[in-house]
Amino acid sequence: MNKSWNQADPARVVWLDLLRAFSAFFIVFLHISSHYAEDLLPLGSAAWWTTDFYLALTRCAVPVFVMISGVFFLNPAKEISIQKCFTKYIGHLLTVLLGWALLRTGVLSIALEHTPAPQWGSAYFMSVITYWFLPMMIGLYLLTPVLRALTSTRNKTLLGYFTGLCFVLGLCLPLAQGLQPQLFPQVVSLDTLATLLKIPLPIFCAHFVFGYYAYTYDLKPLTKALIYTGAVISLLLMAAGTYAFYVERGSVFYRYATYGSSVTPMAFLTGAAVFIACKDFLGKIIFAPRAVLWIERFSYCSLGVYMLHLVLVQTAVHMGLFAKLNVWPALTVPLYAVGLFLLCSGLIALLRPIPFLRKYFL
């Protein structure tokens, strides 16, 4: 087993490792909550609303992951050449994506669903799409050399401007584009304008740059208050939007709910609030050496947990395990999430000592 697994690395930032581990847990929590809200609980019941709140609370998981990545990849002090971006980071994510998509296809599509052989290619493509987080991160890594040129200026005004620009055009504009035809049908369609503006601004650039910005600089109290207020409002909007989505599947609130939730300004604001709060509070805590070691271990497993839990959750859904254990969901859903997170972390920890797996798939 690699040395870093048995000995804490003093160069690592403990609160970021802890935040990464919690984000991995939130991803597991989110997908279990989503299954209960969509398939198992009566819409509008007390249990459903509790699960809906869990959904809104955990929407920040992907944005926080991206913000943490921005801290490291956009740090001018860290040497990352274009060649290194491709050979080390993009290459690794490609093998992770293709390998886990193959495993998911084999387990779910072939073994459990008995998909006919002529459809295996389509099933594999759907598995790749299921892991959309990795292609998105590959896109950010492709942009990293350009974004690093921006952060190397250490110009707070320029960084704030760029983050705000990506937030408005990459996140708010698509939302307005989706809502406008039904809320303001008399207004000229935003489709053409939105398409032109979104082309050069990938959605998650705002998260990527914000992570570096918020980590490097201290935000003003007013800025923090606005972000925290926006996060609270966003939680309410996402909860209400999920209800509207399930009442009417074609609802204009689609982007607040299940499948579009991670690419909304609401998810960004809740993620930003979590990131800032962890920096301000967890960043001041001095953890015991043994606690630091365990935090780092869970952090090392986070990518593997993300990849593995989707296979296990969908396997459990296929076998009807959650339906059979549908008792007191307000309590059992978070308990199932904790249990599955620990199971995934334990399995990934067992696989990490194998150099080939660690290098290409974890």
Of the candidate ranges 48-57, 130-139, 187-196, the one whose mean pLDDT is the lowest: 187-196
Return the number of other C-beta atoms located less than 10 Å from residue 176's C-beta. Answer: 16
User: Is residue 265 very low, low, confident or very high in pLDDT (cuts 50, 70, 90)?
Assistant: confident
User: Helices 14-35 and 46-58, interaxial angle, to 10°?
Assistant: 140
pLDDT in tens, 233-263: 988 888 887 887 777 665 555 544 444 467 7
Q: Is 18 helix (H, G, I), strand (E, B) or coil?
A: helix
**Contact of 217 with 223, CB cutoff 8 Å:** no
Mean pLDDT for all residues in the chain: 84
Say how many C-beta atoms besides its own lie within 10 A of residue 320's C-beta: 10
CA 221 to chain centre: 27
Could you tell me the CA-to-CA distances from 222 to 162, 164, 218, 234, 345 in Å, in that order?
19, 16, 12, 18, 39
Return the pLDDT at 197: 44
Write out pLDDT tens, residues 269-305: 999 999 999 999 998 888 888 899 999 999 999 999 9
State the CB neighbour count (10 A cutoff) for residue 308: 23
The values of phi and psi at residue 322, to 5°, are: -65, -35
Alpha helices by DSSP H, listed for the chain, are: 3-6, 14-35, 46-58, 61-73, 82-84, 91-104, 120-130, 133-151, 156-166, 173-183, 191-198, 205-216, 221-247, 265-281, 289-300, 302-319, 321-324, 329-351, 355-360
Average pLDDT (128-133) is 84
Give the tens place of pLDDT for each residue, 33-44.
Answer: 988 988 888 888
Q: How far is CA 318 from CA 208, 315, 324, in A?
A: 35, 5, 12
Digit-coded pLDDT (tens) for 94-125 = 999 999 999 999 998 898 888 888 888 888 88
The share of the chain scoring above pLDDT 90, in percent, equals 41
